[in-house]
Amino acid sequence: MQQGALTEGNDFVGRRVLLVGTGWIGGAVADLLAGRGARLFGTHNANVGGSAALAARLPRDCWAGHAQLDAGDADAVAALAGPRGSADRALGGIDTLVITTGHRHALQLLAEMDPWTMQEIIRTELLGPALLVRAVLPGMLEAGFGRIVLIGSDSGKAGTLGDAMSSAARAGLYGLAKSVARESARPDVTINVVSPGPTDTPLLAAMLSDDGLTGKVMSGTFKSIPKGRAARPREIAAAVAYLASADAGFTTGQVLSVSGGLTM
C-alpha cells in the first residue's frame, strides 16, 4: 500500500494543523492537507516511524516538527497543545486539530477483560481527545476560528462484539463533539467526528489474519460492507479535509460515517 501523492490546490494555505497520530490515516491526512498548503505539527505515542516518515517526505515549509505525546497526560497535553505550548509555538498558533489515535488491542469479551486494559482504552480513545480539545479550544474561540476533527469508529454506532470498551469510547466521542459544538457554535469554530469502517492498513490485515476472536469478528464485519472492500486511508482523509475546510463552517456536532454503507 502506498500513501497518495500531494493534492493540488491551496485552500489550506496559512492553516496551522496539530495532527495527533501519524499512522496510516494520520499520514494520509498530512499528505492531503500539506498538499493544499497547510503547515502541520505531528505527534505520536509509540509510532515514531510515522512522524519521521512524514518529516522526510513532506515539504519543509509544510512540516513544523513532531513530538511524542501521551494524550492521556493532562500536563503533557497542556505543555504541547495549550497556549504557548511547544506545538502552538512551532505553528504560530493552532487553528485546526485532527486526532486519529486509537488503542491497539485484541478483541476480548468484556467479562474476560482486565480492568487495567479497560481503563487504558478509555484513557487513549476518550480522555486523551477530550484533553486535547480542552487545550486548543480557548485559542480558537479567542481567534474566532477553528476546526476540530476527531477520528472515531462505526463501532461507536453499532457496537462490536469483543470490543465493548472501545465501542463505548467511540460513542463517547460523539457526545463530546455534540456538547462542545453547542459550547462553541457562535464563533466560526466547529467540531465533528469522522467515523470510518474497516480501513486498508497493516493493522486491519493483522486483525483479519488473527486466528482467534479478533479474526472471526473482523472477517464477519468485512463481509458485511455493502461496498465489498475496506476504505482507503485517502478516502478517510478526504472526509477530514472537508470538515476541516473553511467551507464547513455550518457543519458542527456531526458524525460522518465513511464505511462503505456498513452502518447506513
d(CA 155, CA 108): 14
Return the domain boundaries, the chain.
16-249
Task: Note the helical H segments in the chain.
Answer: 24-35, 48-57, 74-81, 86-91, 115-122, 128-143, 155-158, 164-183, 202-209, 213-223, 233-244
pLDDT exceeds cutoff 50 at 88: yes
Most confident of 7-16, 167-176, 199-208: 167-176
Tens digit of pLDDT for each residue in 139-184?
A: 999 999 999 999 999 888 888 898 899 999 999 999 999 999 999 9
According to DSSP, the residues that pair with 15 across neighbouring strands are none
> Cα–Cα distance between 26 and 12 in angstroms, integer?
17
Spatial contact of 177 and 251, defined as CB atoms under 8 Å apart: no
pLDDT at 12 over 90: yes
Give the lowest-confidence range in 57-61, 74-78, 94-98: 57-61
Phi, psi of 9 (to 5 degrees): 120, 160
pLDDT for position 2: 41
Q: Which 3-state string (H, E, C) describes 161-183?
A: CCCHHHHHHHHHHHHHHHHHHHH
Residue 80: how many CA atoms within 13 Å on its side-chain side? 25
CATH of domain 16-249: 3.40.50.720
The span from the CA of 101 to the CA of 27, in Å, is 12
Q: Is the pTM of this model over 0.85?
A: yes
DSSP-derived secondary structure for 133-163 = HHHHHHHHHHHTEEEEEEE--THHHH--TT-
Q: In degrees rounded to 5, what are phi and psi of residue 193?
A: -120, 130
So what's the pLDDT on residue 121? 96
pLDDT band at 3 (very low <50, low <70, confident <90, very high): very low
pLDDT at position 1, please? 34
Residue that wins the pLDDT comparison between 189 and 155: 189
Rounded CA-CA distance 255/264 in Å is 12
